[in-house]
Amino acid sequence: MSGDVTLELAIDTKDEQTLRAIEEALGDVGPRRWPETRDILTVITVASGTDALVDALLSLKSRFGQEPAAPPIVIKNVDRLALTLPEATPESLRELIEG
């Protein structure tokens, strides 16, 4: 797939320390927080090529996927198809990205 793809991550937390750790883990794919538009969710967008997005999201899963206190994270593409972070595999992420 050529060009950058944008995904949205809906994160069920407002905890600043957690959000900074998530943004740090996604550093290579340009995480950007949306302005405060929701009460309990934080929305972060990421944009990059398919391979970089898959790698970054799998890295995020390995970092936060085993933590019991980790907030739920839902990944959405431009067509609003969604995948939860614990369900993410290389194949499911590529399918979501390539839609």
Read off the CATH number of the domain in which 54 is found: 3.30.70.120
- pTM exceeds cut of 0.85: yes
- 64 versus 13: the higher-pLDDT residue is 13
pLDDT digits (tens, 9 = 90+) for 74-84: 999 999 999 99
- Per the DSSP assignment, residues forming a β-bridge with 33 are 44
Q: What is the pLDDT of residue 2?
A: 53
Using one digit for the tens of pLDDT, what is the confidence trace for 31-74?
999 887 667 789 999 999 999 999 999 999 998 877 788 899 99
Total number of domains in the chain: 1
Cα torsion 23, 59, 77, 1: sign = positive
Domain extent, residue 16, equals 5-98
